[in-house]
Chains A and B, each alone.
Chain A
């Protein structure tokens, strides 16, 4: 493995995150709306109260001063304190990251497994009926808006059939259900909704990648050596065809996180997406900034890891 490449690639993360930091800081402060007014709430306040709140939140300083203070805070590991939730931003984000991570992992697993299975099945007989049907499924899944699919699933499975819960991550009263089963039932619909687009893309990706690999010379060699179709298909072709799929899934993570904002709101899933929506509407600057930093950092780090994984899995690739 090329370590200097790793270091170089790692250093690139710093300007990316810093750039995101500056842009998002400016954007949220330039957006119309005053955090102090949002803090005070619907019944309004007298000017002295308002001024006191402004000072307490540090919003009486110039934008530049606020930015410098914020950067200083970050370097000492302090993401600040939420204006409205009255807690440290890092603690809030940590608490709310867990549901999002659970939802992401289950959606990725669902999308990847479902997508690979159908993709491989379609590729096994290109341009046949099964291929065409899989094509229709894929088209259907990625042209559906996520939030609409979510609502429909709720109406069918929860409201009409009463099989699965409408929203949230856990039942308020567990009754005789086991803890794990309860969590599982809450996870099903959001997972399908968030994972469906990924499944559609992976389906098409795996199919074309498989067809591509199956046409390669070494497959012909394997055939001429008398290996069974099954062995060629799964051992020689699939393994190689899945390589680009891994990178692809890694790169989709960013999109999936933005999808999670919508899905979490549809299903009342208490994760980062829902938190971000609330924070944006409340103009909770420290919390919004904290979320931007954590999310952009995790996306860049995941992309970085995927890159490394790729060079590791495919020794032919030597990135410089």
Chain B
């Protein structure tokens, strides 16, 4: 009897202990999870913003970085440029075999910041009535849509007039953020007050925008997304975007610990500036993540220019620019040389390197120039050529100083011209009245994005379009077919071929790859965010160590 009782009580004690243990573990997990939540983040933002409506495109990088926290896309092109798509507001999708019908199954637990439900009507309205007419790339991206039907509140069917391998990537929030039909339905969209105080479905809600000073968002408690460990996102209670109009005050603010984080602007911090931030000894460090898609600084060559119109001259110029010297002197080594073995704009996608590339080679450059008919005169001079750079970029003047002496060695005099963005738009992108222009581009997540710069239909069509005036029917055909081709292997072959031709013709000359540098307080957790700089901050948190002045 005793034994039995004894056995029973042992069992009882054991089960009570076990229950306690389970509850204990569970509570610890809970506490740990809860500990990650809370606190505020102060983000330094260079330059001013124009509007916060991601759906009609806030026109500046910094505007997108901020507004993206208020919005979601239907799906997200995944990190690191592997081209994979992850679900967002659409939990699954299905593409018909001819590529012309796309069925989106939407989440049923998504609410707008004002509490209304997000439905397929919002998808139809968002794509057709906002992104298509009011996003500057809208017609290019959504022009092939024949119709969107909404058989039920959580299903949308998009019918296309032809197949397009890139269409799904255009449903990323970068291109089309979902905006609420019930608010915008009868509004004059571009002039709506909504653009300055938007309501989205995103992880944060709009609170205040004091122009020229700061923008404040707060946590969206009803956000639909959860972290991989089951934590409710987002972690932070508040986001403060502090507007810092110039780089010097941005760096000083980092040194003084007044801001916790700046987004990655390719090439924004370089050389000594990185050292300054890292040496400030306040926990804020510059971090570099390897994203497959790259940011390049490159030179547009005017293929109709007096000198640059000659392919041999373009190749000679490529051989003359000493990229190693630039990387050492201007970037203190923190940049990728894309001129030797990794040369090319879309090597990250094709995996293949063009057979023709242009390492520094003075003798070869001189012989190319001679054979192009630009021989040296009695004083050792060949010709004068000019290059334009934008006044806001502080690295380019230093790069061009080196380039000037590089070209001088071959008897070419380089005339450096500094202009503001508006003047460059007119002179380079619209009138194409220039020789060379140095600028920055971020490639990926699809090689098709660069079609804009190479296809002859995009000559003179504005920023990052075909401003070289480059026209090659073979390239046009390859790019057109590449966009429509649904078989990934066939598609890749087309881009490899195009890449090879472009490497020989060099309408655009890549100089070096600038790093994606994220500057943040080491106590922060949840990095890297997104595949490029355009993702929200919902995963970022203080990891239970919220500083007193961020509570």
**A positions within 8 Å CB-CB of B:** 31-35, 37-50, 56, 81, 84-87, 92, 95-96, 151, 154-155, 158-159, 162, 165-170, 172-173, 175, 264-268, 270-271, 274-275, 277-278, 281-283
Contacts and interface: CB of A to CB of B under 8 A. Distances in A.
Interface in B345-404: none
B241 to A, nearest CB: 9
A44 B137 contact: yes
A85 B211 contact: yes
Interface in B478-495: none
13 contacts: A33-B423, A33-B424, A40-B136, A40-B462, A44-B463, A45-B137, A56-B190, A167-B242, A170-B214, A175-B548, A264-B245, A270-B213, A278-B47
A274 B243 CA distance: 11
B296 interface: no
A44 B245 contact: no
Interface of B: 40, 42, 47-48, 50-51, 57, 59-61, 136-140, 190-191, 193, 195-196, 210-214, 216, 240, 242-246, 248-249, 252-253, 255-256, 258, 280, 419-427, 429-430, 452, 458, 461-465, 548-551
A151 B248 contact: yes
Given A151-B248, A268-B243, A275-B212, A33 B425 contact: yes
Given A37-B425, A151-B248, A48 B139 contact: yes
Given A41-B59, A86-B51, A46 B461 contact: yes
Contacts of B550: 173
A41 B136 contact: yes
A305 to B, nearest CB: 28
B213 A154 contact: no
A172 B214 contact: yes
B252 A270 contact: no
Nearest to A41: B59
A44 B136 contact: yes
A112 B59 CA distance: 44
A172 B42 contact: yes
Contact of B249 (A40, A86, A266): A266
A177 to B, nearest CB: 10
A247 B318 CA distance: 61
Contacts of A154: 249, 252
A303 B111 CA distance: 57
A147 B464 CA distance: 34
Which of A32, A56, A154, A266 has the largest count of B CB atoms less than 10 A from its CB?
A32
B249 A44 contact: no
A226 B426 CA distance: 76
B249 A267 contact: yes
A32 B242 contact: no
Given A44-B462, A170-B213, A173-B240, 7 more contacts: A32-B419, A165-B258, A166-B249, A166-B256, A173-B40, A173-B550, A281-B421
Contacts of B426: 32-34, 37
A162 B551 CA distance: 20
Contacts of B137: 43-45
Contacts of A282: 50, 422
Contact of B212 (A81, A173, A270): A270
Nearest to B213: A270
Closest 8 CB pairs of A and B: A33-B422, A44-B462, A270-B212, A41-B59, A45-B136, A270-B213, A37-B425, A172-B240
Given A46-B461, A96-B211, A283-B422, A266 B430 contact: no
B252 A155 contact: yes
B279 to A, nearest CB: 11
Contacts of B60: 41-42
A91 B322 CA distance: 51
B214 A42 contact: no
A46 B452 CA distance: 11
Which of B196, B419, B422, B549 has the largest count of A CB atoms less than 10 A from its CB?
B422
Nearest to B134: A49
Contacts of B462: 37, 40, 44-45, 50
Which of B136, B458, B549 has the largest count of A CB atoms less than 10 A from its CB?
B136
Which of A44, A87, A95 has the largest count of B CB atoms less than 10 A from its CB?
A44
Contacts of B210: 270
Contact of A167 (B47, B138, B253, B422): B253
A167 B249 contact: yes
A49 B210 CA distance: 30
Contact of B211 (A45, A92, A268): A92
A96 B48 CA distance: 13
Contacts of A264: 245
B464 A35 contact: no
B389 to A, nearest CB: 15
B211 A95 contact: yes
A41 B463 contact: yes
Contact of B427 (A32, A41, A50, A166): A32
Contact of B57 (A32, A41, A50): A41
Contact of A268 (B50, B244, B452, B549): B244
Nearest to A164: B256
A166 B430 CA distance: 40
B252 A175 contact: no
A273 to B, nearest CB: 10
Nearest to B253: A166
Nearest to A85: B50
A4 to B, nearest CB: 44
B42 A271 contact: no
A154 B249 CA distance: 8
A159 B424 CA distance: 36
Contacts of A86: 50-51, 190-191, 193, 195-196
Nearest to B255: A159
Given A33-B425, A33-B426, A281-B422, A159 B136 contact: no
A268 B249 contact: yes
Contact of B59 (A40, A49, A96): A40
Nearest to A32: B423
A49 B137 CA distance: 9
Nearest to A278: B48
A43 B450 CA distance: 11
Contacts of B258: 165-167
A274 B465 CA distance: 30
A45 B48 CA distance: 22
